[in-house]
Structure 1
Amino acid sequence: MAIRVLFPSSSSSSSSFSTAQPTRRTSRLRRGFCCFCSSSTTSSDEVSSSSSMMTVSITGATGFIGRRLVDKLLSEDHKVCVLTRSTSKNKASSVFPASRYPGVTIADKEGDWERCIRDSTGVVNLAGMPISTRWSPEVKKEILQSRVNVTSKVVDHVNTSTSASSNGNGNGPSVFVSATAVGYYGTSETDSFDESSPSGNDYLAHVCREWEGRARQVKQEHVRLVLIRIGVVLGKDGGALAKMIPLFMMFAGGPLGTGTQWFSWIHVDDLVDLIYESLRNPAYTGVINGTAPNPVRLSELCDRLGQVVGRPSWLPVPGLAIKALLGEGATVVLDGQKVLPARATHLGFSYRYPYVRDALKAIIAKQL
């Protein structure tokens, strides 16, 4: 059994905590709460009162997280531009048909990307090849390049648009939210990591540093940069649970390897809210861990999942079997890290699902 870990990543330098006044998240108050305020100490009431419509360009919009983010933005009356490759345009059109998604524009050509980004208020970068697979040298190269190349392309367009805006040609985006991953920190069964922790020394940490390094090339004097280091994303239509739930329903569920590895997770709704808040709230800047405040050991996650679906968690999958299936890629599921969202907590971000049991109950309820 392989868990698909959604892998965003990190930066080559550690971040310091913001000294901005904590602000309450207001995205649950419906309709159009997006704005770009002049002061990072702005209260939530001031943020919502000066709202304006956003236009957001998104890479990776057809993925598990991207689809939910598009739905969130449209539900709040914003507009979306899906940045995709020409070879993937048909998929994007099937995921976001014009009849159901009139607020979505699909851009698959270089000129269309440039135009969309220039006309956007914000850009979100979620693109990247899944990493839960056998890592051949070619696959490892593609894992890295799929993140670095797209990020470089987006950054180039953002920088071009901001240069043009300084010359009076349009406005250009004012915020760039780029996904990275908790793989930045390396792995440990004993240590805890927050945004100030140094990077690890394994392959995934290297990928994250390169990925974030490209994102940091955006002109931060013009564009607010937010790097969200994402943990394992839990949701009903993708990610780890999409592969775990069927096994549990067949009485074949259980922990992978020892089960003692840390599992730093986040419910997809909380992650989407965090990205949305990063777009609209100027207090959100720099590195922010996209994880829930209560990470668990993998054995606990499996026990909780078994309780929620009414099935035992009794059939552990030996580490040797996973290594035989995934090779070096087995590190994604056999090793873990305890990652804490110190920045999000400091900023006053309100989680819908801070505890894994509540997250699993909500997800399973939607499946039934």
Structure 2
Amino acid sequence: MHVLILGGTGFVGRYVAAALMREGHEVSVVSRSAGKGGNGPRRVVWNGWDGAALAGMLDGIDAIINLQGENIGGGRWTDERKQAIVNSRVETGRALCVALRMRREQSQTLPATLLQASASGYYGLWQENAPPCDEEAPSGKGFLADTCRQWEQSTVPAEALGVRRCVLRFAPVLGKKADGTPGGFIERMLPPFRMRVGGPLGSGRQPFCWTHLEDIARVASMLLQRIDLAGAFNICAPRTPSMSEFTRTLGKVCGSPSWLPVPATVLRLMLGQMAEELLLSGQNPKPLRLQAAGYAFRQPDLEAALRSVLS
């Protein structure tokens, strides 16, 4: 099938695009610039908010994967940055629905499937003793939860147009960048461990869910083909470690001790609300709907997953 990926030039999008191409799918990715040529996916230039312009780009597209969004961990959450994080997600989702509606009004074909990204932050914030959250659990409180709700809601109108929609609630992602070096959140956690001064953030008791790029790509491939599946899916390792367990395992893989906690007060002074929600709190999502559909995780073990990223 021909798959269009919005946000296909980012950390997750690049990996998913390459994986789908290896399976024989035709892949196009949306970018704000034309980029360079080569053997990768075809690039389509779009500004992220003009639904009319996007409508004309959907000719021959069988499925859309919407990963578009400003990097949540890219900098301190000022008011301006929080607005950019929300707008970059919601405006793209709304523009996509405008494009689909325009095509329906003009009797043009629509993509059959939409995979809509979201995140485990949907479920709220716990500093310890987080309850297990399956896909039926309600949304929680906080900026991340509010953002995820708006992100998911932005493409709900696609369902009324007959498009099968799957919502992908990612946990924080482990994986390598295109150049083979560690990417995502682990890239920012590594320096102190390499200097042998690593340790847990805050109390260490907060849950720290995670997933691997390989499983994201395999889940996306499955959902593109399984027309019997729709709705929300948690994409996360089946077992959620605590922050302390995560950093102990990271230290073991790095051959470095995990002995120097970073006090919560320091993180709050440095990063404010971003520290409170991204580093000092977490969720305990469970991938029950994927498991019920027969999906077997390729990377369910934390130590093995970290070794695959840091090898």
TM-score, normalising length: structure 2 = 0.91
Asked if residue 68 in structure 1 is aligned to residue 19 in structure 2, the reply is no
Q: Which amino acid aligns with 1:339?
A: P
Question: What corresponds to 1:161 in structure 2?
Answer: 103
The CA distance in 2 between the partners of 1:139 and 1:129, in whole Å, is: 9
1:241-278 CA-to-partner distances (Å, cap 9, x unmatched) read 11122321111211111111101110111011111211
Match of 1:260 among 205, 210, 229: 205
1:7-29 CA-to-partner distances (Å, cap 9, x unmatched) read xxxxxxxxxxxxxxxxxxxxxxx
The CA distance in 1 between the partners of 2:301 and 2:151, in whole Å, is: 30
Question: What corresponds to 2:235 in structure 1?
Answer: 290
The CA distance in 1 between the partners of 2:229 and 2:301, in whole Å, is: 23
Asked whether the equivalents of residues 234 and 267 of structure 1 are also in contact (C-alpha less than 8 Å), the reply is: yes
Q: Which amino acid aligns with 1:239?
A: G
Q: How do 1:2-17 and structure 2 match up within 5 A?
A: none
Q: Which amino acid aligns with 2:100?
A: V
Question: What corresponds to 2:180 in structure 1?
Answer: none
In structure 2, the residue corresponding to 1:225 is in which secondary structure?
A: strand
In structure 2, the residue corresponding to 1:296 is in which secondary structure?
A: coil
Q: CA offset at residue 108 of structure 1?
A: 2.7
Structure 2 unaligned regions, length at least 5: 178-182
Question: What corresponds to 2:30 in structure 1?
Answer: 83
Question: What corresponds to 1:122 in structure 2?
Answer: 63
Q: CA offset at residue 160 of structure 1?
A: 2.7
Corresponding pairs, count: 299
Q: CA offset at residue 337 of structure 1?
A: 1.1
Q: 1:59 to 1:204 in 2, by over 3 A?
A: same
Q: Which amino acid aligns with 2:19?
A: K
Question: What corresponds to 2:120 in structure 1?
Answer: 182
1:56-108 CA-to-partner distances (Å, cap 9, x unmatched) read 111111111000011011112211221223xxx05xx1xxx32222x524233
The CA distance in 1 between the partners of 2:26 and 2:4, in whole Å, is: 9
The CA distance in 2 between the partners of 1:317 and 1:195, in whole Å, is: 32
Q: CA offset at residue 194 of structure 1?
A: 0.9
The CA distance in 2 between the partners of 1:273 and 1:75, in whole Å, is: 12
Asked whether the equivalents of residues 68 and 88 of structure 2 are also in contact (C-alpha less than 8 Å), the reply is: yes
Asked whether the equivalents of residues 69 and 88 of structure 2 are also in contact (C-alpha less than 8 Å), the reply is: yes
The CA distance in 1 between the partners of 2:255 and 2:78, in whole Å, is: 38
The CA distance in 1 between the partners of 2:139 and 2:159, in whole Å, is: 24
In structure 2, the residue corresponding to 1:81 is in which secondary structure?
A: strand
Asked whether the equivalents of residues 31 and 43 of structure 2 are also in contact (C-alpha less than 8 Å), the reply is: no
Question: What corresponds to 2:39 in structure 1?
Answer: 100
Match of 2:221 among 276, 279, 282: 276
1:196-228 CA-to-partner distances (Å, cap 9, x unmatched) read 101112221111111111111113452100001
Question: What corresponds to 2:147 in structure 1?
Answer: 207
In structure 1, the residue corresponding to 2:5 is in which secondary structure?
A: strand
Q: CA offset at residue 118 of structure 1?
A: 3.2
Question: What corresponds to 2:247 in structure 1?
Answer: 302
Q: Which amino acid aligns with 2:291?
A: T
In structure 2, the residue corresponding to 1:262 is in which secondary structure?
A: coil
Asked whether the equivalents of residues 134 and 234 of structure 2 are also in contact (C-alpha less than 8 Å), the reply is: yes
In structure 2, the residue corresponding to 1:74 is in which secondary structure?
A: helix
Match of 1:348 among 269, 275, 294: 294
Q: How do 1:228-267 and structure 2 match up within 5 A?
A: 228-237=168-177, 238-267=183-212
The CA distance in 1 between the partners of 2:185 and 2:119, in whole Å, is: 15
Q: 1:76 to 1:163 in 2, by over 3 A?
A: farther
1:298-328 CA-to-partner distances (Å, cap 9, x unmatched) read 1111111111121111121111111111111
Asked if residue 360 in structure 1 is aligned to residue 309 in structure 2, the reply is no
Asked whether the equivalents of residues 118 and 161 of structure 1 are also in contact (C-alpha less than 8 Å), the reply is: no
The CA distance in 2 between the partners of 1:179 and 1:248, in whole Å, is: 31
Q: Which amino acid aligns with 1:114?
A: A
Asked whether the equivalents of residues 226 and 284 of structure 1 are also in contact (C-alpha less than 8 Å), the reply is: yes
1:166-214 CA-to-partner distances (Å, cap 9, x unmatched) read x3x3x32000001011111101222111101011122211111111111
Asked whether the equivalents of residues 81 and 107 of structure 1 are also in contact (C-alpha less than 8 Å), the reply is: no
Asked whether the equivalents of residues 209 and 237 of structure 2 are also in contact (C-alpha less than 8 Å), the reply is: yes
Asked whether the equivalents of residues 162 and 173 of structure 1 are also in contact (C-alpha less than 8 Å), the reply is: no
Asked whether the equivalents of residues 195 and 289 of structure 1 are also in contact (C-alpha less than 8 Å), the reply is: yes
Structure 1 unaligned regions, length at least 5: 1-53
Question: What corresponds to 1:131 in structure 2?
Answer: 72
Asked whether the equivalents of residues 179 and 227 of structure 1 are also in contact (C-alpha less than 8 Å), the reply is: yes
Point out which structure has higher relative CO (alpha carbons under 8 A, 6+ apart). Answer: 1
Q: Which amino acid aligns with 1:250?
A: M
Q: Which amino acid aligns with 1:120?
A: I
Asked whether the equivalents of residues 263 and 337 of structure 1 are also in contact (C-alpha less than 8 Å), the reply is: yes
Q: CA offset at residue 162 of structure 1?
A: 4.0
Asked whether the equivalents of residues 237 and 297 of structure 2 are also in contact (C-alpha less than 8 Å), the reply is: yes
TM-score, normalising length: structure 1 = 0.77
Q: CA offset at residue 159 of structure 1?
A: 3.0
